[in-house]
Chains A and B, each alone.
Chain A
Amino acid sequence: MSVTFHIPTALRAFTDGKREVTAEGSTVGEALSNFAASYPDIRPHLYEDGGELRSFINVFLGDTNVKNLDGLSTPLRGGEVITLVPAIAGGAS
């Protein structure tokens, strides 16, 4: 199943400036892992040393936070859009 990741500005330095990247996976977690494998420099920004997704990162499948679905085990049908957003915004004040 192929899905599209929308890349936040803060991470585009690690995706050759791309705003969108596609990855394969049957679950959200698998697609995320494959996405990170395609751009190895991004991995430490997304995962803890132990391999867990960093706690402040929210993963949205379409408009829904996967925490309200089955988390990283949420199955994919293909064609969905996945967005990574920090839990709270950095920067402006």
Chain B
Amino acid sequence: MMTKTPIRMIDLIGNTPLIDLARISAEVPGVRLAAKGEFFNPSGSVKDRAARAMILGGIESGELSKGTTIIDATSGSTGISYAMIGAALAFPVKLYLPANASAGRKEIIKNYGAEIVETSPLEGSDGAYTAAREEARAHPELYFYPDQYNNPANPKAHYDTTGVEIWDQSGGMVTHFITGMGTSGTLMGVSKRLKHFNPEIRIKAVQPNSPFHGIEGTKHMDSTIKPGIYDESAADGVITVTTEAAYEMTRRLAREEGIFAGVSSGANVAAALSYAKTLPEGALVVTILCDQGTRYLSEHFWESAK
């Protein structure tokens, strides 16, 4: 049955549930782990929030208008969000991805009708970033370049929505927040909002333990181009995680919590669990389940049944 006013796809972004990780929390008696189920967003990831904010910002400022192509660099999830929103709002989308971005992600982007330009897998995300920026600068008349790494609308989306939701859904009980960084938008926005509600809330950033890693969508800040929106002081410290631990927790989420999420979600929960082990009873640690596992089905780590 139709509601009185049918809803637009982009209005379904946000208001994701805060999910109790009951079985994994059981390893740390007295401490609770909970995670925002960002795979409930319409294109399946947390990136819908920032992509919507940046695109609507472009429309409002006049930089994005009929006939303009949205162009940006991504390892996949923001690209999927741009492609979904671009399709819904009738804007062409052109995306620069490292050639080793997962095959599933590239297929989804193509099926939304967006164009993909693959960049060298040796250069990782920085190679895609540099190529997208060069193309956008060479033909400014053709493109709207949201530049997710440097656009304040990215962290602001999380300040305005994700941070408020975590506070409300935890009944103001959240004591710790921890998440990984790609553009760092989620961490910057949520951190600022939660500290505004309660300055005692501790914030930790999750980082791969090596610059050479397989945690898709996550940046090793010290060895890569730092996003303009990134402010190291927004976090009260860093928890590192190995690719192997991220893979293992991704499998555990599926098998123990019924949550079929992606690798960066596994990294976040693995780091949250190791952090939780250092915390006093009564702590409520919140993290982010960034995206779905279905877009990684082509990856071999699912085959490892430990």
- Given the contacts A9-B124, A55-B304, A92 and B78 also touching, CB distance less than 8 Å: yes
A89 contacts which chain B residues (CB < 8 A)? 75-76, 97-98, 100-102, 121, 124-125, 216
Chain B: minimal CB distance from A40 (Å): 15
A13 contacts which chain B residues (CB < 8 A)? 211, 223
Give complex CA distance A90, B125 in Å.
6
Chain A: minimal CB distance from B81 (Å): 9
Q: Is B251 an interface residue (CB 8 A)?
A: no
Q: Is A85 an interface residue (CB 8 A)?
A: yes
Assess whether A56 is in contact with B217, with CB atoms less than 8 Å apart. no
Q: Is B70 an interface residue (CB 8 A)?
A: no
Q: Which of A9-68 contact B (CB under 8 A)?
A: 9-11, 13, 44-46, 48, 54-58
Chain A: minimal CB distance from B281 (Å): 33
Assess whether B74 is in contact with A88, with CB atoms less than 8 Å apart. no
Give complex CA distance A92, B80 in Å.
12
B148 contacts which chain A residues (CB < 8 A)? 93
Q: Is B224 an interface residue (CB 8 A)?
A: yes
Which of B75, B220, B247 touches A92 (beta carbons < 8 Å)? Answer: B75
Q: Which of B73-118 contact A (CB under 8 A)?
A: 73-79, 97-98, 100-102
* Count of chain B residues near A, Cβ 8 A: 49
Which of B79, B182, B296 touches A91 (beta carbons < 8 Å)? Answer: B182
B128 contacts which chain A residues (CB < 8 A)? 92
A44 contacts which chain B residues (CB < 8 A)? 210
Assess whether A88 is in contact with B263, with CB atoms less than 8 Å apart. yes
Give complex CA distance A87, B213 in Å.
9
Nearest B residue to A89 by beta-carbon distance?
B98
Assess whether A56 is in contact with B243, with CB atoms less than 8 Å apart. yes
Q: Is B47 an interface residue (CB 8 A)?
A: yes
Nearest B residue to A87 by beta-carbon distance?
B214
B129 contacts which chain A residues (CB < 8 A)? 92
Assess whether B215 is in contact with A90, with CB atoms less than 8 Å apart. yes
Chain A residues engaging chain B, CB cutoff 8 angstroms: 6-11, 13, 44-46, 48, 54-58, 83-93
